[in-house]
Structure 1
Amino acid sequence: MIRVQRTLPARLLLAGASATALASGMPAIAQDTTGDEEALTIDTIVVTARRRDESIVEVPIAVSTFDADKLDMRGALDITALQRNTPNLTLQVSRGTNSTLTAFIRGVGQQDPLWGFEPGVGLYVDDIYIARPQGAILDIFDIERIEVLRGPQGTLYGRNTIGGAVKYVTRRLGQEPTFKVRTNLGNYEQRDLVASGSVPLGDKVALGAAIGWYNRDGYGTNHFTGAETNNKKSFAARLTLEATPSENLFFRLSADRTDDDSNANHGHREAAVPADWAVLPAVLPGYSPSAQPVPAGAFPVQANKYDTWAGLGDDNEVITQGLSGLVEWTLSDSLVFKSITAYRDGVTHGTGIDFDGTPAPILDISAGGSVYDDHQFSQELQLVIQRESWSGILGAYYLDALATGQYDTVLGIGAAAIPGVPTPHLTQGTSGEVDTKSIALFGDFDFDLGERWNLSLGGRWTRDKKEGTVFKANYLGLGSPISGATSSILIQTLTDYTRELTFEEFTPRVSLSYALADDMNVYAAYSRGFKSGGFDMRGDATATPATQEGYEPETVDSFEIGLKGNVLDGRLSFAGAIFHTLYDGQQVTSQQVNQSGTGVVSFVDNVGSSTINGAELEATAWFSNAFSVDFALGYVDAKFDEYLAYAPVGGSYVQVDVADQRQFQNTPEWNGNVALNYTVDMDTRGTLALRGALSFRSSINMFETPVPAIDQPAYELLDASIVWTAANEKWRVGIHGRNLTNERYRTGAYNFPGLAFGDSIIGFYGAPRTIFASIEYRY
């Protein structure tokens, strides 16, 4: 939780300043008047980043905390907004989707959102680990706070993650009735309605509910179907029941569901069709291609980066839902037992990807048979210990997750050899599943070594057992039996296996911190991260027989030195860190056209090792009670020491070290933001808060192999907010502008160049300039 306190020692006063520097764009200060003088009083924020109450300055972890009020003040609608305010963080919508999350921290993340591929950044909702990125673009409503922890996590949280963790925490209900409703109205016909409330059912039980209804027209148009592109149409709901039968017992039961019906996102074609193509009549459900040949230069590159000519169809549906239960039993003043039980499932229907961006089925992932389906059950047990000179946590974790998927890849074999004669098509049908069973034991302890020294020790033992089933085959015709096509002819079975692998690892963590003063703390920390191996769901066993053996785990050894402090009588707070990371066994997905030019070969391999060095600085300066400046800067120098890539040699593929030709994806060298905040106190008429923020990111590679045609150059985004809050805090009206300079920047891409696939180079772009007004009432 985040608690606000008033009269605390100076060392805890720093926590409020430091937390606010990380969390908000508004000063965490109040005015205390003595006679005619005004004094600064810093609100102290206590966080639970390590599963126990601590001031943020004393936590030997690089952590950024965003509370609900500050996110509301800056008009943040979903968790991707955190990327603009957190150093060395990438949170974006994955290419070809509307609600799948791409997450990287300090160069480590999930390179491939395919089913069964483990994320490198852990996402938690109320301590429930979200195993898959589909449906993980969480809308921000009815929350208490969001925490971003950078670096490996595993001694405190349910699932080990090697890059870091994002914690989405909803608020507890309490025993007072509450109600809040907000509407957002903006350009592109944005129409949102968010409401939440709770009511006590007696003095020991409370019931709460929250809904979010989001609607927005698209940023562009599909010129072939007439449908909108990059629109939003989703509904989210949460129901919570809390009970406190005695002072020592607390129960919480929660259910949630999100249904996203936004149109499919096919992306923007970046190059014209290079030569004549002929097109077969429609065969697959969802296809409506023209039966006429496609001439060279057809479907020219559109000026609007959100427009497309995609002929694959526009229907799309992503449903995620879950049920969880929390039990907290206070055994004594120093012992608390917790049980966290959860079940979640998600399904994605109709998410086809039109790689070629034309009505022709030149290179498509068919929508008719494309399905992702995930189920997970988790159980976590914790014992939290709080003693006078030491504290800690002991835990056990179990996860049973099943991820399944299937799709067809439709490939044109080549440009039409004879004008007017239809081009033959090849379909690669792919299906499979990964069943993961994981058990872990973990612990983390803090020891006070005198007045100023503190030692923290932690460790985790993890055992992951995975069973993978993969099927892949080539068919002549549009579609395969996977998508319901009955006339296609089986040419060759490429992959057909079921295999089981077990991975086991112990990962330690240690930190030593020293209080340089009551309001300044320095720490040094080491932690090891682990991500288990698995199976390539796209693997082609004829091209690379080793795919049937699966790929191995990857590990991270992270070394970090940090300094958190408060100077100038609390007017300047800061948190800085430098880190050195050794990344081994890195799992990377790559895809390329096979040697015959008639198909796409996928590889998921442990490409080798890399070294990541970097630094982070976050600061807030208060120039007065009314005016403050926030600043954040991140730097990452990530280089491959070894990169073993597959290359075609003599009819097969062999691994070659190409480390000097590869770069990290989704990891800008420089990133940061600066924000100016000014508050006008209008006495009984309330307060007016003004904020202007500029965020920037240096050039970004979309894949490990540099591709100038799709890699994103450096860019800046300008945001601004004006928010009026009534004196009684019941009403709030705001106007929020994001990307005010209307910058066009890629967040993802696909790259299949050349005549064989019609120069299928596709870009996916972040939101253009959006302006909306919010009106909120609280009771």
Structure 2
Amino acid sequence: MVVIMQTFTPRSAIALAVSLAAATQLSPALAQTETSFALEEVLVTARRRSENLQDVPIAVTALSGDALRMRGAADISELAQIIPSVTLEPSRATSTTLTAFIRGVGQQDPLAGFEQGVALYLDDVYVARPQGSLLDIYDVERVEVLRGPQGTLYGRNAVGGAIKYVTRRLSDQVDVRLKGSLGTYNQQALVATASAPITDTLRVGATVARLTRDGYGKNLTTGEEHYDKDLFAYRLSAEWLPSADWLIRLAYDKSDDKTNPVAGYRPFPGAVSGVPVLDDVYDTTAGASEQISTAGINGNNQVEAEGIMMSIDWNVSDATTLRSITAYREDYTESVIDFDGLAVMDFDAPVIYDNEQLSQEFQLLYNADRWNAVAGFYYLDATASNDFDVVLGQIGPVTAYTGGTVDTEAWSVFADLTYSLTDQLSLSVGGRYTEDKRTADIFRANYLGFGSPFLGNDSAIFLGATSDYEASNTYTDFSPRINLSYAINDTATAYAGYSQGWKAGSFDPRGANFITPEVERGFEPETLDSWEVGLKMTWLDGRAVTNIAAFYSDYEDMQIPGSVGVDSDNDGVNDGFVGTVTNAGKAEISGFELEGNIMLTERLSAQMSLSLLDAEIKEWLFNGVDISEDRAVQNTPEEMAYLGVTYTLPVAKGDLSFNANWSYKGDVTQFETEVPVIDQKSHDIINASIVWLSDDDKWLVGLHGKNLGDEEIKTAGYCFGSGGCPSFLGLEDNTTVFYAPPRTVTGTVEYRF
């Protein structure tokens, strides 16, 4: 299979899809078997109108809220076990900052100036920053994941794909739900949801969630829990339907995460302190939260995020709808990053992120017999800022302060038109024009002392500035899309298409313009051209669906950020750092994806997915030399597979469902170069659930076991020591690794009034 993927091209992708489609066709006798049961139709709004998932000629996966609660899904990172070509993980040293990659496209860095390659939407509102974006799953109607460039249908342009988190619409009846959970590591969760009609045209609702858990490990220095959870969140909403042609939705949400700081596991002993390697990968000896190095934020680790949105739909006629989506969001983070993971102050960083955004979107939707069209205007005014100290406590002590604010003012117009050329053949064409203006205000300086004056140390001695500039760039682009779909019959649709993704350039707040004046020019945009063919089939009289997609992407000027140590006084010890951003020359990413769902009997069903990816850097110029052979595409395993089996039988006036599922992911390279101590080897995850649901849907009782094999799975890391790191910083051999949850078991009870 590796040989096949290395020679994967658009032509071979088409041939593979056609051959697999032929292989999965049923014999006439089997296809004509009549049954009294079938899979439920899945409706999505991926193309800005409600459609059967099987009729949408793009690679999209939809998971309903009911399906997610039946498997006990906790947050959206679990979707990566099910959906092909997707990686979703918490960013380094965080619990709720999202790192997302789809088909080899994403962004690891959460700093100001770096926009995510995968767009996240909360009820049609684009969430510009990754802080607080690793959303917990509650009060959700469905989650849709679109793979490949997006931009001609709605919202913000996205290079890699989009994740749409859709909350539940309010009922016209009184609806009250209570859900409680208890689990290993003293997990406790309570979610309460209520909605009610106030009048015939006005409905209101609210959801409150309190989610806590002890740590998977211990902080042996502070005595606190490590990898714990402490989250309080709520959501208020209202819907007003003044007439049959109007719908006005208003929603406000807020979350407050007080989870303890997360420090990585040290695979090597302290080079100076001699602290040994710990036995448990979930334990730590990090002490930065109690040291003077983080006194400027009082050792606090907290993420607060909130937002308000209003959407207005006006059905002007049976064929035409006008829509407005207005939203404001903000988040504030104080974070303790202990790069060394030790009690000593070798390499600590207190960090503040402060973000806000205002967005406005207008859409015109037209649906007629042969025509379906979307046209829109999108505006975003966003400010992302960060302030942080890098405290090298055993060198000097020296502190490198970085303060950066990057403003984004962007507008775009987009349109997408689908025309039915015949009853079977449809053509879609679309385009998006975007103008992004980025304005940066950057200051960096070195100080003698445990911290800078910007984070509370007024006695720090100024040693010199390394960056001080203001700069602005405006980037423009036109991104096209074309798609041709053919309904082979009532149960099969084939499609082929081309789309382009684009992400504007920006400024790295860690860049040192006194050393490298070129950083004032910022880094350049990146562009991805994607060709895709697919086949969607429903067979066995509606008892089975099979969706196949094959794609080839040409990725230009990939934005790859990083940090390296700097020896300012030439004494052989790095006493500072500088940010680096590379517009990598070129990468080629091709792949094959398969998703299937089949009801073998009325009580037994199976679900599967598969992705095979070939992601390769083709050109990476460094000082005029092509070093692409030593570079890799981040967070993109070559293989992914998922298989789930569900058996349901009637028990005590309800249905008892048994589900077991297995997921597999191939080797993952965390950064652009291989670092074996941080990179994750291929691994399996086995989960199982037992859920009883009453016939009237009022009671649900479930038991969910996750990672039953207790695999130790690396999700991220910092590399400033040995083991293949690009440079050293600090004296303690500072390489650390972060891990996904170990084996957990959770019991859940839910009651609907």
TM-score by length of 2: 0.91
Q: Deviations over 1:726-754 (max 9, x none)?
A: 12110010000000111101100001115
2:281 aligned partner, one-letter code: K
Match of 1:758 among 732, 740, 747: 732
Shift of 1:202: 1.1
Shift of 1:446: 0.7
Alpha-carbon separation, structure 1, partners of 2:575 and 2:300: 28
Partner of 1:637: 614
Shift of 1:46: 2.5
Name the SS of the counterpart of 2:620 in structure 1: strand
Partner of 1:724: 692
Q: Number of paired residues?
A: 701
Partner of 2:122: 125
Q: How does 1:89-100 map to 2 (within 5 A)?
A: 89-100=86-97
Listed as ranges, the gaps of 5+ residues in structure 1 are: 1-36, 277-293, 414-422, 646-653
2:694 aligned partner, one-letter code: A
CA contact (8 A) 2:120 2:162 kept: yes
Name the SS of the counterpart of 2:37 in structure 1: strand
Shift of 1:657: 2.6
| Mapped pair 1:775 → 2:743 | no
Alpha-carbon separation, structure 2, partners of 1:655 and 1:591: 21
Alpha-carbon separation, structure 2, partners of 1:49 and 1:638: 26
Partner of 1:394: 375
CA contact (8 A) 1:412 1:757 kept: no
Match of 2:663 among 695, 709, 724: 695
Alpha-carbon separation, structure 2, partners of 1:113 and 1:198: 36
Q: How does 1:483-498 map to 2 (within 5 A)?
A: 483-498=455-470
Alpha-carbon separation, structure 1, partners of 2:391 and 2:626: 31
Q: Deviations over 1:502-553 (max 9, x none)?
A: 0000001000011112100110010000100100011122332211110010
Q: How does 1:362-401 map to 2 (within 5 A)?
A: 362-365=346-349, 367=350, 370-401=351-382
Q: Deviations over 1:184-232 (max 9, x none)?
A: 1001000100111101111010110011110100111111111111000
Name the SS of the counterpart of 1:214 in structure 2: strand
Q: How does 1:329-368 map to 2 (within 5 A)?
A: 329-349=314-334, 351-365=335-349, 367=350
1:394 aligned partner, one-letter code: A
622-631 or 395-404: bigger deviation: 622-631
Alpha-carbon separation, structure 2, partners of 1:139 and 1:243: 27
Alpha-carbon separation, structure 2, partners of 1:690 and 1:723: 7
Partner of 1:219: 216
Partner of 1:604: 581
Alpha-carbon separation, structure 2, partners of 1:43 and 1:90: 27
Alpha-carbon separation, structure 2, partners of 1:78 and 1:571: 29
| Mapped pair 1:150 → 2:147 | yes
CA contact (8 A) 2:158 2:503 kept: yes
Shift of 1:655: 5.7
Partner of 2:53: 56
Match of 2:485 among 513, 534, 537: 513
1:727 aligned partner, one-letter code: D
Alpha-carbon separation, structure 1, partners of 2:632 and 2:236: 45
687-696 or 586-595: bigger deviation: 586-595
Alpha-carbon separation, structure 1, partners of 2:204 and 2:542: 40
Q: How does 1:575-654 map to 2 (within 5 A)?
A: 575-595=547-567, 596=570, 597-645=574-622, 654=623
Shift of 1:568: 3.2
Alpha-carbon separation, structure 2, partners of 1:573 and 1:553: 39
| Mapped pair 1:676 → 2:645 | yes
Alignment CA distance shift 1:633-1:42 (3 Å): closer
Q: How does 1:662-673 map to 2 (within 5 A)?
A: 662-673=631-642
2:115 aligned partner, one-letter code: E
Name the SS of the counterpart of 1:563 in structure 2: strand
CA contact (8 A) 2:104 2:615 kept: yes
Q: How does 1:467-478 map to 2 (within 5 A)?
A: 467-478=439-450
1:513 aligned partner, one-letter code: S
CA contact (8 A) 1:515 1:522 kept: yes
Name the SS of the counterpart of 2:485 in structure 1: strand
Alpha-carbon separation, structure 1, partners of 2:697 and 2:584: 55
Name the SS of the counterpart of 1:71 in structure 2: helix
Alpha-carbon separation, structure 2, partners of 1:530 and 1:86: 23
Alpha-carbon separation, structure 2, partners of 1:614 and 1:566: 23
CA contact (8 A) 2:39 2:599 kept: no
Shift of 1:625: 0.6
Alpha-carbon separation, structure 2, partners of 1:590 and 1:110: 11
Q: How does 1:66-215 map to 2 (within 5 A)?
A: 66-215=63-212
Name the SS of the counterpart of 1:636 in structure 2: strand
Q: Deviations over 1:580-638 (max 9, x none)?
A: 00000100012222254222221012121110011100112221011111111011111
1:687 aligned partner, one-letter code: D
Q: Deviations over 1:155-185 (max 9, x none)?
A: 1121000000000001111311101110010
Alignment CA distance shift 1:655-1:264 (3 Å): farther
Name the SS of the counterpart of 2:446 in structure 1: strand
Alpha-carbon separation, structure 2, partners of 1:714 and 1:545: 42
CA contact (8 A) 1:543 1:601 kept: no
2:363 aligned partner, one-letter code: Q
Shift of 1:492: 1.8
Q: How does 1:425-574 map to 2 (within 5 A)?
A: 425-574=397-546
Shift of 1:710: 1.2
1:620 aligned partner, one-letter code: N
Alpha-carbon separation, structure 1, partners of 2:333 and 2:624: 35
46-55 or 118-127: bigger deviation: 46-55
Name the SS of the counterpart of 2:242 in structure 1: strand
Shift of 1:566: 1.9
Match of 1:746 among 704, 707, 714: 714
1:737 aligned partner, one-letter code: G
Q: Deviations over 1:299-344 (max 9, x none)?
A: x111111111111016311000011101111100100000000000
CA contact (8 A) 2:59 2:147 kept: yes
Alpha-carbon separation, structure 2, partners of 1:655 and 1:196: 59
1:231 aligned partner, one-letter code: D
Alpha-carbon separation, structure 1, partners of 2:37 and 2:458: 75
2:464 aligned partner, one-letter code: Q
Alpha-carbon separation, structure 2, partners of 1:240 and 1:248: 20
Partner of 2:391: 410
CA contact (8 A) 2:647 2:659 kept: yes
1:65 aligned partner, one-letter code: A
Match of 1:320 among 305, 325, 329: 305
Name the SS of the counterpart of 1:269 in structure 2: coil
2:286 aligned partner, one-letter code: A
1:678 aligned partner, one-letter code: Y
Alpha-carbon separation, structure 2, partners of 1:514 and 1:658: 43
CA RMSD of aligned residues (A): 1.4
Alpha-carbon separation, structure 1, partners of 2:751 and 2:135: 23
2:242 aligned partner, one-letter code: P
CA contact (8 A) 1:356 1:757 kept: no
2:587 aligned partner, one-letter code: S
Q: Deviations over 1:46-88 (max 9, x none)?
A: 2211101222222111000000100000000111110111001
Shift of 1:685: 1.8
Alpha-carbon separation, structure 2, partners of 1:219 and 1:721: 21
Listed as ranges, the gaps of 5+ residues in structure 2 are: 1-33, 290-298, 723-727
Name the SS of the counterpart of 2:457 in structure 1: coil
CA contact (8 A) 2:287 2:344 kept: yes
Alpha-carbon separation, structure 2, partners of 1:385 and 1:551: 39
Shift of 1:273: 1.3
Name the SS of the counterpart of 1:82 in structure 2: helix
Alpha-carbon separation, structure 2, partners of 1:442 and 1:571: 38
Shift of 1:38: 6.0
Q: How does 1:224-303 map to 2 (within 5 A)?
A: 224-274=221-271, 276=272, 294=273, 297-298=274-275, 300-303=276-279
